[in-house]
Amino acid sequence: MAARQQPLGASLSADDRSIGNELVGWGKVALIETIGRVTGATASAAVGFVEVEEGSLLVAAGTEGSDWALNLRANPKCRVTVGDDVMDCSASEVDGALRNRALGELVMKYGTPAERLGHGPVFRLVPQT
Q: pLDDT per residue over 6-16, tens digit each?
A: 444 444 444 44
In total, how many domains does the chain have? 1
Residue 114 lies in a domain: yes
What pTM was computed for the model?
A: 0.81
CATH number at residue 72: 2.30.110.10
Helix/strand/coil (H/E/C) assignment for every residue in the chain: CCCCCCCCCCCCCCCCCCHHHHHHHCCCCEEEEEECCCCCCEEEEEECCEECHHHCEEEECCCCCCHHHHHHHHCCEEEEEECCEEEEEEEEEECHHHHHHHHHHHHHHHCHHHHHCCCCCEEEEEECC
- Give the pLDDT of residue 27: 67
Residues 49-87 pLDDT 10s:
999 988 999 999 999 999 999 999 999 999 999 998 999
Residue 68 lies in a domain: yes
Residues 83-106 pLDDT 10s:
989 999 999 999 999 999 999 999
- Give the pLDDT of residue 111: 83
